[in-house]
């Protein structure tokens, strides 16, 4: 297909943030006496909002109120991302070479979206009004709200767009919005078997490297 609009997820698609943020969560939880390894947090919560993650972990562990967890994690995560965040290999070149309209639909908060894109130099590929946060929508992914918001803003139908996603949460949201999705496996946190999970959630195909993305989109 030749889409009019490509909708990129941020964490795990454009920036390699999932390990960094999971390590922050794990460290902050340890301070409350709760031991959960970063990989276990990624398996359960990748693609979810920090708020929903904090609510689940606060209810399960009783270690601290969700709001206290969130404040601690946000402060440490923004430091870690400022220092260590990197773009995923080839993301900048692929964005520069893509002839399609593009936007970001992310379950991260608006400040983190902007900070992450700026730190990695990817902000130049997106207009300010092309950044959509699930935190600001009525419902975050896996609900379709931010994908539908992006389609409406660009005046593009769901069949003329493509979503690039690394999480089951995001692929589920794309499916609910009626937009075909490509499962991206190029982030450092992606484990064996994850591609199968994305296909089962509704991804139309899998891509491992940004260098192959344009060809994959056209082959959809």
Query: Could you list the residues that contact Mg ion (CB under 5 A)?
Result: 9, 11-12, 47, 166-167
* CB 64, min distance to Mg ion, A: 26
Separation of alpha carbons 81 and 92, rounded Å? 18
DSSP H or E stretch at residue 42 = helix 38-45
Separation of alpha carbons 181 and 146, rounded Å? 15
Of the pair 47, 109, the CB lying nearest Mg ion is at 47
Residue number of the CB closest to Mg ion reads 12
Of the pair 11, 145, the CB lying nearest Mg ion is at 11
* CB 48, min distance to Mg ion, A: 10
* CB 141, min distance to Mg ion, A: 9
Of the pair 9, 23, the CB lying nearest Mg ion is at 9
The answer for residues whose C-beta is within 8 angstroms of residue 39's C-beta and 6 or more apart is: 22, 189, 191
* CB 168, min distance to Mg ion, A: 10
User: What are the tokens at 9?
Assistant: 């997820």
* CB 90, min distance to Mg ion, A: 17
Of the pair 64, 186, the CB lying nearest Mg ion is at 186
* CB 2, min distance to Mg ion, A: 25
Separation of alpha carbons 93 and 146, rounded Å? 25
Across the beta sheet with 101-106, what order do the strands follow? 131-133, 101-106, 5-8, 161-165, 181-184, 205-207
Angle between helix 18-31 and 50-61 (nearest 10) = 30
Contact between 94 and 38 (Cβ < 8 Å)? no
Of the pair 64, 122, the CB lying nearest Mg ion is at 122
């Amino acid at each position: 297909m030749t889409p009019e609009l490509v909708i990129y997820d941020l964490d795990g698609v454009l920036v390699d943030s999932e390990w960094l943020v999971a390590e922050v969560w794990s460290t902050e939880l340890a301070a409350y006496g709760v031991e959960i390894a970063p990989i276990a947090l990624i398996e359960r919560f990748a693609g979810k909002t920090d708020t929903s993650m904090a609510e689940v972990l606060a209810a399960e562990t009783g270690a601290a109120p969700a709001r206290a967890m969130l404040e601690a994690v946000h402060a440490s995560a923004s430091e870690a991302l400022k220092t260590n965040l990197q773009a995923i290999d080839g993301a900048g070149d692929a964005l520069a070479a893509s002839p399609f309209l593009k936007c970001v639909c992310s379950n991260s908060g608006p400040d983190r979206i902007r900070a992450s894109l700026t730190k990695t130099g990817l902000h130049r590929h997106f207009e300010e009004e092309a950044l959509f946060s699930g935190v600001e929508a009525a419902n975050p992914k896996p609900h379709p709200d931010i994908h539908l918001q992006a389609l409406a803003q660009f005046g593009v139908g769901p069949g003329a767009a493509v979503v690039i996603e690394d999480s089951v949460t995001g692929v589920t949201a794309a499916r609910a919005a009626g937009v075909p999705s490509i499962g991206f496996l190029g982030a450092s946190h992606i484990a064996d078997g994850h591609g199968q999970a994305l296909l089962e959630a509704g991804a139309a195909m899998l891509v491992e490297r940004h260098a192959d993305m344009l060809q994959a989109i056209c082959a959809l």
